Amino acid sequence: MASNGKRVRGRFAPTPSGRLHLGNALTALLAWLQIRSAGGEIVLRLEDLDRQRCKPELAALLPEELKWLGLDWDEGPDVGGPHAPYEQSKRTAQYERILDELLRQGRLYPCYCSRADLMAAASAPHGLDAEGPAYPGTCRTLTAAERAERALRKTPSLRFAMDERATYRFADGIAGETAFSGAGGGDFVVRRADGIVAYQLAVVADDIEMEITDVLRGWDLLDSTPRQLALYEALGSPPPRFAHSPLLLGADGSRLSKRHGAVSLSELRERFGVRSERIVGFLAWLAGLRDRIEELKPADLVASFDLAAVRSPSATLPDAWIDLLTGKDKGLNF
C-alpha cells in the first residue's frame, strides 16, 4: 500500500513495433521489481496506436517474451481486468472524451503547420530531447478567419497550450529532484492531423483510468514528464510517482542498437541459447542491483530491491558482452 492508503499500481506499456530488446527488458524488470517489492499490482498495456508501425504478430509475441523473462502481471490483454481493453488501439472512445474535455476548457487549438514548417523551426530554441525543437506557437494566436482559411488547405492537428510561466517540479525516483520550464518544449500535439491520438495524451488518459500510482519507464521519456504533469493538472487528477530507468549504451557510448550485435531477447535465446536467468542477472548487474553477474530469476531480486541503487542516467555494456551472456567469458563470475 502507498503511504496515502491507496494500493500501489504500476504498469509496463511496450509498443509492438519490434521485438523486445535488452533496454526494454531492463525497464520492464525494474518496473516489475518496484511494484512487486511494494506488494502492488501490475498492468500490461500495449501502446499500439500507430497501426503503421505496430504489427499484430509482435503484439502477440511481447507477452510471451516478458513471461519467458520471468515477469507476470495482474491485468492485461491476455488476462483481462476491470480496465479493459488494454490495447490503446481499442481505447479511442476514452481519448475522445478527454479531448472534448480539454476543448471545453480552451486548452487545445488547431495547428495547420506542415512537416516543412516544423522542420524550419529547427532554428527555434531546443525543446524536448524526445521530440525535437520547441514548437514556436505559430498557430496559437490565429484569428478565426485565419483558421478558416488554413483549414481549406490542410486538416489540422490539435495542440495543448502549455503555461509558459509554469515550472513543473517532481521528485523522480531515480533522477532525483527535477524541474522543467513550461516554455521548454512548447505546445505539443495531442491528436495528429491523421486523427491518431498522440502518446502524451493517451498515456495520461490510460494511467488515470487504470489508477496507476507509479510509473517507471526509460530515461528518454524524462523530459516528457512536464507535458504529462500539465495534462494531469488540466484534468484535475493527481499524477503518479515517476522514476526513469537508465538507458543502455553500447561500449562505444552510443544508444544500444542492432549495430552492437544481438540485442533482442528472441535472438539471444534462439541464436545463442542464452537462458532467461542469465539475462536477468546481467541486467541486475548493469542496473547496479548486484555487484557481480549471477544467474537470477526476477523473484530473487524482490526482497532486496532498492530503487535508490539503480544507476542513472545510463548503463554501458562492456566489450564482448555477448560472451558474458553465453558463458564464454568467465571473468565476471558467470
The residues annotated with a catalytic role in the active site are 258
- Give me 4's grid cell: 496515502
Element (H, E) at 60: helix 56-69
C-alpha 210/C-alpha 35 separation (Å) is: 15
Angle at 95 between CA 90 and CA 101, to 5 degrees: 160
- Give me 263's grid cell: 540485442
Please name which of 256, 260, 205 lies closest in space to residue 45, comparing C-alpha atoms: 205
Please name which of 226, 54, 208 lies closest in space to residue 130, comparing C-alpha atoms: 226
C-alpha 261/C-alpha 250 separation (Å) is: 9
Provide the 3-class DSSP secondary structure of residue 211.
Answer: coil
C-alpha 123/C-alpha 132 separation (Å) is: 11
**Ordered DSSP codes for 313-324:** SEEEPPTTHHHH
Beta-sheet pairing, 314-316 with 247-249: parallel
